[in-house]
Amino acid sequence: MLTSPISMVIIGKDPQERSLTRAQLLSSGKVHVVAESSDFSRATELIDQFRPHSALVILNGDNEQPLELIQHIRRQFPSTAVVCTGTDIPSSVVVKSFRCGATEFLCQPLKPEEIEQVLAKIKALQGEDELENQVGRVIAIYSSRGGTGVTTLSVNLATAIHQLAHEGAVLVDLNLQYGAVPLFFGLDPEYTIADVVRNQDRLDAQLLKSFLLRASDKLYCLPAPLRVEEADDVQPGHVQRIISMLRTQFRYVIVDCQHVLDANTVTALDLADVVLVVSLMDVPSIYCTKRVLEVFRKMGFTDEKVKVVVNRYDKRDGVPLEKVQEVFGTKIETVLSEDHRAVLASINMGNPLIVSQPKSALVKQFTDLAGQLAGQVGVTAQNGKRFRLSNLFSGLLGG
């Protein structure tokens, strides 16, 4: 059973056909579209950047350009499987696509069972172990309210996963206006996500890595902008490209999300394999978390993808976890203890708690959570839908 999604680049001239194809593929929950392009000449650059498992080429009648692209991909990137599709394509062109090196042809509209068969073939060609190793896991951490400890969790979880897995990890600070991740590591950033955006026209994997801040061996972070006004320069397309590129370079990508469900945050949540929703046990936090979980269900996120984390738990507060689970309509995945003194000391020292406060009960809890996330693979389930936030909130508030 293939657990990680298959990464794919979609190339096609018609934007509507690309959009429809993307939605159909995402509905399987087993495809991760890392990039799209209408420019056949640029397609090989994208494949070189992202090194996807597959490239889907949308044929255009008798046009020879897509066929030339297929040949080029097969010569230059033999490990990338090429899948073709198109509407009303002559059989002679389909035959030519196979002769040029295409692995499969999918008829429009795409059928779920045919998508499954093609993905299984790609898996068989490349091997499941190789597929797993090529795609990094994206873990997004979100709370609808500030002050719930999202950044503390993000920093310590990234550190714990890095220590447990002994593999590369990167922490992306998407709290674009007031992100402070570098301070938790005691670091002063030279570059931020704003620099990545300013250099988007020449961005490749090597340049992106040069903008990262090294926190320790194989553990990096991408800081939020240093100036508040720079946050407006970061758009959903930038977020998608950055996360997609990072997951080809790092085994784990942890995203510290801001507390607003804007387009940038939704993009990150869409791309995530697992979303950790952080809640406290006070009534306003419980209320807001319940609303967020309802929004996520409407977005098509499954219980396998969304995990609830209760932070700063003290059983003396008298709120039963069982009752809160009933309110949420899902189980609480992890409970993190209250240890204000140790957390504050680690933040002021600029050293993650998991390193600086080994006697804290939180260290084992962070490590246990890291072990769960590093040992299992979540499902990126979007049901092929694109949502307008205004529709989501109007539906939720009206319910």
**Is the per-residue pLDDT at 388 higher than 50?**
no
Give the pLDDT of residue 68: 92
Decide which of 168 and 155 is more confident.
155
Query: Would you call 387 helix, strand, or coil by DSSP?
Result: coil
Give the pLDDT of residue 384: 35
pLDDT tens sequence across 368-380 = 999 999 864 333 3
pLDDT tens sequence across 199-230 = 988 887 778 999 999 998 889 999 999 999 99
Structural domain of residue 289, as residue ranges? 136-398
Give the pLDDT of residue 247: 86
Whether 12 contacts 58, CB under 8 Å: yes
Whether 255 contacts 272, CB under 8 Å: yes
Domain check: are 172 and 246 in the same one? yes
Q: Would you place residue 128 in the very low, low, confident or very high pLDDT band (cuts 50, 70, 90)? A: low
Gap between the Cα atoms of 106 and 19, Å rounded: 16
Residue 98 forms part of a structural domain: yes
Q: Which of 132, 149, 169 is the last residue of a domain?
A: 132
Gap between the Cα atoms of 194 and 38, Å rounded: 26
Using alpha carbons, select from 324, 314, 308, 315 the residue that is nearest to residue 276.
Answer: 308
Domain count of the fold of the chain: 2
Domain check: are 189 and 229 in the same one? yes
Distance of CA 227 to CAs 71, 180, 195, Å?
46, 12, 12
Residue 237 forms part of a structural domain: yes
Question: Which whole number is the average pLDDT over 111-128?
Answer: 83
Strands 332-337 and 306-313: parallel
b (16+ CB within 10 A) / e for 287-301:
ebbbebbbbbebbbb
Gap between the Cα atoms of 221 and 241, Å rounded: 16
Domain check: are 151 and 22 in the same one? no
Percent of the chain with pLDDT over 70: 90
Burial of 330 (C-beta count, 10 Å sphere; 0-12/13-18/19+): middle
Domain check: are 339 and 310 in the same one? yes
Give the pLDDT of residue 3: 52
Give the pLDDT of residue 320: 86
Residue 254 tokens read as 């942890």
Give the pLDDT of residue 41: 83
Give the pLDDT of residue 130: 53
Gap between the Cα atoms of 255 and 154, Å rounded: 7
pLDDT tens sequence across 325-334 = 999 999 999 9
Gap between the Cα atoms of 126 and 130, Å rounded: 6
Domain check: are 211 and 91 in the same one? no
Residue 21 forms part of a structural domain: yes
Give the pLDDT of residue 290: 96
Q: Would you place residue 289 in the very low, low, confident or very high pLDDT band (cuts 50, 70, 90)? A: very high
Whether 279 contacts 381, CB under 8 Å: no
**Is the per-residue pLDDT at 2 higher than 50?**
no
4-18, 174-188, 240-254, 303-317: range with highest mean pLDDT: 174-188
Domain check: are 364 and 290 in the same one? yes
Residue 375 tokens read as 């040992």
The CATH number assigned to the domain holding 381 equals 3.40.50.300
Largest Cα–Cα separation, the chain: 73
Rg (CA), the chain: 22
Q: Would you place residue 392 in the very low, low, confident or very high pLDDT band (cuts 50, 70, 90)? A: very low
Domain check: are 324 and 392 in the same one? yes
pLDDT tens sequence across 89-104 = 988 999 999 999 999 9
SS3 for 141-182 is EECCCCCCCHHHHHHHHHHHHHHHHCCCEEEEEECCCCCCHH
**Is the per-residue pLDDT at 168 higher than 70?**
yes
Gap between the Cα atoms of 275 and 137, Å rounded: 11
Gap between the Cα atoms of 28 and 119, Å rounded: 10
DSSP string, 47-108: HHHH--SEEEEE--TT-SHHHHHHHHHHHH-TTSEEEEEESS--HHHHHHHHHHT-SEEEES
What is the edge-to-edge ordering of all strands in the sheet holding 81-86?
A: 31-37, 6-11, 54-58, 81-86, 104-107
Using alpha carbons, select from 193, 177, 184 the residue that is nearest to residue 150.
Answer: 184
Task: Determine the residue type at 129.
Answer: D
Domain check: are 81 and 230 in the same one? no
Q: Which of 113, 132, 151 is the last residue of a domain?
A: 132
Work out the mean pLDDT of the chain and round it to a whole number: 86
pTM here?
0.70
Domain check: are 42 and 152 in the same one? no
Whether 9 contacts 42, CB under 8 Å: no
Q: Which of 132, 152, 171 is the last residue of a domain?
A: 132
Q: For residue 5, is the peptide bond before it cis, meaning its omega torsion is within 30 degrees of 0?
A: no
Burial of 14 (C-beta count, 10 Å sphere; 0-12/13-18/19+): middle
The CATH number assigned to the domain holding 109 equals 3.40.50.2300
Question: Which whole number is the average pLDDT over 282-288?
Answer: 94
pLDDT tens sequence across 38-81 = 888 888 888 887 888 899 999 987 678 899 999 999 999 998 99
Domain check: are 81 and 31 in the same one? yes
**Is the per-residue pLDDT at 25 higher than 90?**
no
Residue 1 forms part of a structural domain: no
Whether 272 contacts 161, CB under 8 Å: no
